[in-house]
Chains A and B, each alone.
Chain A
Amino acid sequence: MNLAFFGVQLLNGLQYGLLLFLIASGLTLIFGIMGIINLAHGAMYMIGAYLVYDLTLRLGNFWLAIVVAVPIAVALGLIIERLFLDTLYKRDHLYQVLLTFGLILVINEVQRIIWGGDVHSVAVPSPFDTSLQLTSNLQYSVYRLFLMGVCLALAAVIYWVIRHTRLGIIIRAGAVDRDMVEGLGINVRTLFTLIFSAGVALTAFAGMIAAPLSTIAPGMGDSILITCFVVVVIGGIGSIKGAFWGAILIGMAETFGSVLIPSLASMVIYLIMAAVLLVKPRGLFA
């Protein structure tokens, strides 16, 4: 492995890690603040990818497709929150697990009805459909760099909102003591709807911008969901910072794992998780 190849893998790992962060941050927001464990999170990632595939075909433009798809994802989040989650806030996690598991079955099957069981792909959109020449025989996709930039920017926005805005203060306070925040005259009900929609939108958006780099297939959300769970367990639940570093760590581990030790690649992230649990059962940043 020469230096240039190593550099490419490093970038790939970083890019994958940042994408994972985008998905895991939604999961973390929804859990950390609302106390809801959302198994259907991965399914929303898949829906994002399929939406953008479908709309790109219809509208003929990837960017336009994203502009149309994001509001659809937000609306979907709103509907799910209002229809199903309302009764679950005070209930045991068991019921949240089951209800969202039921949602997975429904969403996966609806996807099958609308888009079928075939594997699809989306072309890398212009102006990013070129590659950067690294060395004489190594290139790097510009779209991947763009993706990294978008993820980093969003991570910065999330951090800024939670740390430095009034909304962020309310969100953090709501995570600590819901009743107290309600007592201060803030409509927690609306806040929760907002956060859930934002969480769903984040993961669906991740699915959308990842679509040109991934194969769009049924069940693609299930595997990403479990990877995200590993990220969250490693980082510490409810911690955005933990989600960020957990995602980078897992992104790197999976990328380098599949290059260096292919036979163990699918296990690497679980081994890391087991090691973290052994040392810090509450996660690295909890």
Chain B
Amino acid sequence: MLHRYPRRVAIIMLALTLCVAVFPLWGPAVFGDQVDFIQEKLTLMVILALFTMSLDLLVGIVGLVSLGHALFFGVGAYTLALASPEYSAASLWWMLPLVIAVAAITAFVVGLLVIRTKGIFFIMSTLAFGQMFFYLISTSQFAGGTDGLFIMFRPSVTFGETTLLDLSNPQTFFYFCLGLLIVGYLFMRWLTRSYFGQVLDGIHDNEHRMQALGYATSGYKLVAFVIAGVLAAIAGMLAAMQYGFANPVQLGWHTSGEVLMMLILGGIGTIFGPILGAFAYEILLYVYEHLTVHWPILMGLTIIASVLVLPRGIAGLIIAPPWNRKKTPVAKEQAAESVIPPNSIQHNEG
């Protein structure tokens, strides 16, 4: 489903990336003395984009709707907070592998249990596991309870005696996050186009057929669950660095719901859509918060409207603009949704 997009997708994404990347050049002219604040927001959006993209691997690519993805976001944040020394900076060289390892193990254990369930059961059990961790963390002394934990120093990136990246510098940190997002995006593109990704795509279309073809679909789903968990944990680690603390709210079910909203707003199953969705959601949130204290109403109505009117999200608008919807592959795909699609896997097996 996600193999060929019109060229305008690449053009738009490149233009937007460039716009964000050179923000320090044009930001001060547009936002004046608010530029630091905007850059902070922008960094957060980049982090959330990575988070949303990781969820897309589950929801969009494999078709597993998880309502507990914030669990892994929280795992990343808390691993950083708990493993950081109190009065000095940790080294990223071992912090990053540690976060990845902890997230992978957590995702493997949770995945083993939830992969056994299907459809709505999967939604509910992921939600319940997310809440389990939420209560575990918010009642634990070692994790600071409901207050959470502070992170006094961002990890250092040194080689020998020289500092390669000074992450405590907001601008450097911004580029660090942007770099990770781009790496994450390229990784996801590579993953979805690989043999593994095609099997996932096949599972999304028709899991029984894949089983009949001899694929151990549970194994594939579990690996996808672990990868998504690790990516989310990296985003969680970055978010904790950005905020300077890890808080139970970050792994509550409202966070899981929000990231799902960013995903649907951007367009599921497209990898680039989630990035747009995260940005759009945060911008909307910012605007609504300034309009009224009752902004959740506006946000709620926006979600309802986007579900009803724009089920394929912003990405759907770009791939198939309303004015030439007939000619695009997406329209064809929608029409063929009820029919079993031609088997794209076998071509790659030979």
Query: Which residues of A line the B interface, CB within 8 A?
Result: 31, 37, 39, 84, 87-88, 91-95, 97-99, 101-106, 108-110, 112-113, 222, 226, 229-230, 232-233, 237, 263, 266-267, 270-271, 273-274, 277-278, 281-283
Contact = CB atoms under 8 A, between A and B. Distances in A.
B290 interface: no
Contacts of A113: 294
A190 to B, nearest CB: 22
Interface stretch (B7-15, B132-140, B192-200): B132-140
A94 B65 contact: yes
B304 A37 contact: no
B314 to A, nearest CB: 15
Contact of B308 (A87, A93, A263): A87
Given A101-B261, A229-B127, A277-B113, A270 B132 contact: yes
B26 interface: no
Given A267-B132, A274-B129, 18 more contacts: A37-B124, A39-B257, A92-B65, A94-B260, A97-B257, A97-B260, A102-B261, A102-B300, A104-B300, A105-B297, A106-B301, A108-B296, A110-B297, A226-B131, A266-B135, A271-B132, A274-B113, A282-B117
A93 B297 contact: no
13 contacts: A37-B124, A91-B311, A94-B65, A95-B311, A97-B257, A98-B261, A101-B303, A105-B300, A109-B294, A233-B124, A270-B131, A271-B132, A277-B125
A277 B296 contact: no
B307 A95 contact: yes
B257 A101 contact: yes
A93 B303 contact: no
A109 B123 contact: no
A281 B116 contact: yes
Q: Which 6 A-B pairs have the closest CB atoms?
A: A105-B300, A102-B303, A270-B132, A106-B300, A281-B116, A266-B135
B56 to A, nearest CB: 12
Interface residues of B, number: 39
B232 interface: no
Nearest to A275: B113
Nearest to A282: B121
Interface in B62-116: 65, 67, 113-114, 116
B143 interface: no
Contacts of A97: 65, 67, 123, 257, 260
A37 B128 CA distance: 15
A101 B257 CA distance: 7
A37 B307 contact: no
Interface string B253-293: 10001001100100010000000000000000000000000
Contacts of A266: 135, 139
B299 interface: yes
B119 interface: yes
A229 B124 contact: yes
A102 B264 contact: no
Contacts of A102: 261, 299-304, 307
Contacts, number: 122
Contacts of B125: 233, 273, 277
Contact of A93 (B123, B136, B300, B301): B123
A229 B304 contact: no
Contacts of B260: 94, 97-98, 101
B294 to A, nearest CB: 5
Contacts of B336: none
- Find the residue from A93, A101, A274, A283 having the highest chain B CB count within 10 A: A101
Contacts of B308: 84, 87, 99
Contacts of A84: 304, 308
Interface string B187-218: 00000000000000000000000000000000
Contacts of B300: 102-106, 109
Contacts of B299: 102, 105
B120 interface: yes
A280 to B, nearest CB: 9
B59 interface: yes
A281 B132 CA distance: 18
A237 B296 contact: no
- Find the residue from A93, A102, A103 having the highest chain B CB count within 10 A: A102
Contacts of B136: 267
Given A84-B304, A93-B120, A97-B260, A278 B296 contact: no
Contacts of B131: 226, 270
Contacts of B135: 266-267, 270
A94 B116 CA distance: 19
Given A94-B59, A98-B264, A267-B135, A103 B121 contact: no
Contacts of B117: 233, 277, 281-282
A255 to B, nearest CB: 16
A226 B127 contact: yes
A84 B131 CA distance: 27
Given A112-B294, A229-B127, A98 B121 contact: no
Contact of B264 (A39, A94, A112, A232): A94
B222 to A, nearest CB: 14
Contact of A99 (B59, B139, B268, B303): B303
B307 A237 contact: no
Contacts of B303: 98-99, 101-102, 105
A281 B257 contact: no
A20 to B, nearest CB: 14
